[in-house]
Amino acid sequence: MNQQFSLFLSRVVASLLAMVLALSAMGFFLVWVARSIDSEDIRRQAELAGYAIGEVRANISHNQESSTFWDEAVKNTAGGGNAEWIDGNLGTWMHTFFGIDEAYVLDEQNRPIYAFADERPKAAAFFESRRDVLAPFLQALRAKIAAGEPPAEGSQELSVGVADYVYIAGRPAIVSAKPIVSDSGELEQPLSTIRIHVVVLYLDGAIIDRVGQSHVLEDLKFVASGQGDPRRSSISLSSSIGSAVLSFQWVPFRPGQRLLASLSPVLALVGSVLLIGTLVISSASYRRKLDRIRNEEHIRYLATHDPLTGLLNRSAYERAADELIEQFSTRQQSDPLAFLFMDLDRFKQVNDILGHQVGDAVLVEFARRTCEILPANAPVYRVGGDEFAALIPNRTRREIEQLCSQLIDSLVEPMEFDGRRAFVGVSIGVSMAPYDGSDRAELNRKADVALYHAKTAGRRRFSIFGTQMDDAIQNRAAMEAELREALRTKKGFSVVYQPKYAGHGSHMLGVEALVRWEQPGRGMISPALFIPIAEEAGLIADLGLWVLEAACRDAVAWPVEHLAVNVSPVQLRTAGFAETVLDTLEKIGFPASRLELEITETDFADAEEAGMQTIKTLNAAGISIAIDDFGTGSSTFERLRNIDCDRIKIDRSFVKSITESEGDSEIVRAMIAMAHAKGLKTTAEGVETAEQRDILRSFGCDELQGYLLGKPMPPQDLTQILNETETLAR
Ligand code: C2E
Ligand code: CA
Ligand code: CA
Q: Write out the DSSP string of 408-465.
A: HHTTSSPEEETTEEE--EEEEEEEEETTT-SSHHHHHHHHHHHHHHHHHTTSS-EEE-
**What is the Å distance from ligand 2's center to 1 Cα?**
63
pLDDT reading at 440 higher than 70 = yes
Instruction: Provide the domain limits for residue 445.
Output: 314-465
Q: What is the CATH number of the domain that holds 236?
A: 3.30.450.20
Ligand nearest to the CA of 498: 1
Query: Is residue 526 in contact with ligand 1, taking CB distance under 6 Å?
Result: yes
Query: Is residue 710 in contact with ligand 1, taking CB distance under 6 Å?
Result: no
Residues facing 59 on adjacent strands:
none
695: confidence class by pLDDT, cuts 50, 70, 90: very high
pLDDT reading at 112 higher than 90 = yes
Mean pLDDT on 182-197:
89
- Assess if residue 730 is contained within a domain: no
Report residue 6 CA to chain centroid gap. 12
pLDDT reading at 119 higher than 70 = yes
Ligand nearest to the CA of 708: 1
729: confidence class by pLDDT, cuts 50, 70, 90: low
pLDDT reading at 723 higher than 80 = yes
Co-location of 406 and 419 in the same domain? yes
Q: Please answer whether residues 681 and 561 qualify as being in contact, where contact means their C-beta atoms are separated by less than 8 angstroms.
A: no
Instruction: Look at residues 99, 29, 94, 26 and name the one whose alpha carbon lies nearest to residue 66.
Output: 94
- Assess if residue 156 is contained within a domain: yes
Three-state secondary-structure class, residue 179: strand
- Which of these three, 406, 433, 465, is where a domain ends? 465
Co-location of 112 and 166 in the same domain? yes
Q: Where is average pLDDT lowest: 121-125, 541-545, 604-608?
A: 604-608
What crossing angle do the helices spanning 255-304 and 314-331 adopt, rounded to 10°?
Answer: 80
715: confidence class by pLDDT, cuts 50, 70, 90: very high
Which position has the higher pLDDT, 371 or 642?
371
121: confidence class by pLDDT, cuts 50, 70, 90: very high
- Per the rule left: phi > 0, alpha: psi between -120 and 50, beta: everything else, 355 is left
Element (H, E) at 510: strand 508-519
Query: Is residue 495 in contact with ligand 1, taking CB distance under 6 Å?
Result: no
> Which of 494, 501, 514 best tests ligand 1's pocket when mutated (most atoms within 8 Å of CB)?
514
Co-location of 419 and 564 in the same domain? no
Mean pLDDT on 609-616:
81
**What is the Å distance from ligand 3's center to 62 Cα?**
148
- Assess if residue 669 is contained within a domain: yes
AA identity, residue 87: D
Q: Please answer whether residues 600 and 629 qualify as being in contact, where contact means their C-beta atoms are separated by less than 8 angstroms.
A: yes
- Assess if residue 307 is contained within a domain: no
Geometric angle at alpha carbon 406, from 402 and 409, rounded to 5°: 135
Q: What is the CATH number of the domain that holds 369?
A: 3.30.70.270
412: confidence class by pLDDT, cuts 50, 70, 90: confident
- Per the rule left: phi > 0, alpha: psi between -120 and 50, beta: everything else, 318 is alpha
- Assess if residue 470 is contained within a domain: no
AA identity, residue 573: R
191: confidence class by pLDDT, cuts 50, 70, 90: confident
Which residue's CA is the nearest one to ligand 1's atom 10? 712
pLDDT per residue as tens digits for the range 466-513: 888 877 777 888 889 999 999 999 899 999 999 999 998 789 999 999
In terms of Cβ atoms closer than 10 Å to its own Cβ (0-12, 13-18, 19+), residue 694 is: exposed
Strand pairing category for 647-650 and 624-630: parallel
Q: Where is average pLDDT lowest: 107-116, 641-650, 660-669?
A: 660-669
728: confidence class by pLDDT, cuts 50, 70, 90: low
CA 380, 383, 384, 390 dihedral sign is negative
- Assess if residue 309 is contained within a domain: no
400: confidence class by pLDDT, cuts 50, 70, 90: very high
pLDDT per residue as tens digits for the range 551-567: 999 999 999 999 999 99
Distance CA 659, CA 650 (A): 15
Query: Is residue 704 in contact with ligand 1, taking CB distance under 6 Å?
Result: no
In this predicted structure, what is the pLDDT of residue 76? 94
- Assess if residue 326 is contained within a domain: yes
Burial annotation 77-87 (CB, 10 A radius, 16+ → b, else e): bbeebbeebbb
Co-location of 17 and 101 in the same domain? no
Instruction: Look at residues 329, 306, 342 and name the one whose alpha carbon lies nearest to residue 393.
Output: 329
Co-location of 295 and 330 in the same domain? no
Co-location of 120 and 243 in the same domain? yes
The number of domains in the chain is 4
Distance CA 580, CA 276 (A): 79
Geometric angle at alpha carbon 560, from 556 and 564, rounded to 5°: 75
Strand pairing category for 195-202 and 171-180: antiparallel
604: confidence class by pLDDT, cuts 50, 70, 90: low
Instruction: Look at residues 690, 647, 638 and name the one whose alpha carbon lies nearest to residue 672.
Output: 647
Percentage of the chain beyond pLDDT 70 is 95
**What is the Å distance from ligand 2's center to 495 Cα?**
13
Distance CA 420, CA 610 (A): 13
Geometric angle at alpha carbon 460, from 459 and 466, rounded to 5°: 70
Q: Which atom of ligand 1 is nearest to the CA of 649?
A: 3
Ligand nearest to the CA of 515: 1
pLDDT per residue as tens digits for the range 211-222: 999 988 999 999
Three-state secondary-structure class, residue 626: strand
Co-location of 630 and 581 in the same domain? yes
Co-location of 697 and 594 in the same domain? yes
Which position has the higher pLDDT, 553 or 18?
553
606: confidence class by pLDDT, cuts 50, 70, 90: low
Co-location of 415 and 490 in the same domain? no
Chain mean pLDDT for the chain: 89
- Assess if residue 476 is contained within a domain: no
pLDDT reading at 635 higher than 80 = no
Cβ neighbours of residue 156 under 8 Å, at least 6 residues apart? 62
Co-location of 401 and 375 in the same domain? yes
Co-location of 186 and 225 in the same domain? yes
Which residue's CA is the nearest one to ligand 1's atom 7? 686
Query: Is residue 429 in contact with ligand 1, taking CB distance under 6 Å?
Result: no
Co-location of 231 and 170 in the same domain? yes
Query: Is residue 706 in contact with ligand 1, taking CB distance under 6 Å?
Result: yes
Distance CA 340, CA 442 (A): 13
**What is the Å distance from ligand 1's center to 512 Cα?**
9
Instruction: Look at residues 618, 632, 637, 613 and name the one whose alpha carbon lies nearest to residue 565.
Output: 618
349: confidence class by pLDDT, cuts 50, 70, 90: low
